[in-house]
């Protein structure tokens, strides 16, 4: 049996900070009208936190807008997911931490309106972003798959996707707000991260005139499944064959490369001085393997 994940990724311009959530709910409804079979809807990084202010004023506005995850904003987003009966990634939100920190936090909300996953961006884009770094990687379990969460600049650090894949993620949800000329390089990274970890990558950027667009969905062998041709607002859709990850890992990328099966029992660990750590063959295999059979 093959299980699939129908999804729609919304390449959209950011909404203004403080805009009432019914407008966002209508945006979600529009995405579902265009793709009525979608079970997952994904929006770009900080989609609800657009602001045309200069840097200092923008930082002040983000600080003022930050709420804890049990605050009214997230409660409203949970209601939107529940009302539409979908898995919803509303981009990321400005989270006020328990010690007053400002986190850039990606959420996965379930069709029941629960917080299925929350991830604080570990690699803020310094020196340009005001956020405090998170300290923990995060995944979320949908009905048929595990998704890994990362945000924009995290994709430039290969350790993030490798860690999420090791934690059992079959699909990486990379929400992005790239306004600069390096989106071309990020498209290479999306494919490279998919290839070296044998996972799907969904990289959703905001639309122009704010963002550079070019959202992309990549398969576990690096193949482009769907891509926005430019920066205009629009939707990209895909129906991910979730058995593909197990199949590629079993038979190899291009039928040859099986990176997750590299080591033999009893081989010595490979020390990684830069991390004060090591790759241990005894723990190299991903923590969670899909129960789906492969043809």
Catalytic residues: 45, 121, 152
**Which of helix, strand or coil describes residue 210?**
coil
- What the block records as the tokens of 252 is 């190899």
Q: Which helix (H) or strand (E) holds 146?
A: strand 146-151
Q: How far are the Cα atoms of 20, 133, 247 from residue 114, in angstroms, in the given order?
A: 21, 24, 31
Q: Which helix (H) or strand (E) holds 248?
A: helix 243-251
* Helix residue ranges, H only, 115-227: 158-166, 183-197
**Residues ≥6 apart with Cβ < 8 Å to 54:** none
Which candidate, 123, 233, 99, places its Cα nearest to that of 189? 123
């Amino acid at each position: 049996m093959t299980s699939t994940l129908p999804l729609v990724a919304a390449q959209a311009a950011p909404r203004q900070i403080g805009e009432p959530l019914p407008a966002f709910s209508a945006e979600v409804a529009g995405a579902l009208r265009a793709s009525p079979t979608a079970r997952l809807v994904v929006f770009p990084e900080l989609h609800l936190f657009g602001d045309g202010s200069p840097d200092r004023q923008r930082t002040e506005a983000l600080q003022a807008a930050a709420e804890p995850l049990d605050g009214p904003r997230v409660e409203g987003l949970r209601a939107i997911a529940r009302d539409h009966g979908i898995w919803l990634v509303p981009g990321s939100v400005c989270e006020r931490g328990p010690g007053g920190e400002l986190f850039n936090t990606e959420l996965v909300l379930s069709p029941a309106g629960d917080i299925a996953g929350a991830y604080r961006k570990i690699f803020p884009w310094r020196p340009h972003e005001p956020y405090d770094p998170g300290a923990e990687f995060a995944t979320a379990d949908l009905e048929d798959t595990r998704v890994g969460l990362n945000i924009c600049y995290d994709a430039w650090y290969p350790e993030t996707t490798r860690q999420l894949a090791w934690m059992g993620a079959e699909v990486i949800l990379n929400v992005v707000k790239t306004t600069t000329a390096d989106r071309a390089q990020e498209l290479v990274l999306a494919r490279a991260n998919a290839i070296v970890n044998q996972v799907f990558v969904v990289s959703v950027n905001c639309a122009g005139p704010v963002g550079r667009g070019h959202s992309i969905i990549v398969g576990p062998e690096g193949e482009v499944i769907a891509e926005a041709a430019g920066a205009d607002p629009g939707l990209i859709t895909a129906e991910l064959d979730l058995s593909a990850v197990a199949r590629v890992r079993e038979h190899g990328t291009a039928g040859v490369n099986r990176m997750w099966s590299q080591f033999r029992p009893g081989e010595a660990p490979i020390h990684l001085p830069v991390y004060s750590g090591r790759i241990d063959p005894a723990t190299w295999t991903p923590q969670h393997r899909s129960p789906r059979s492969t043809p």
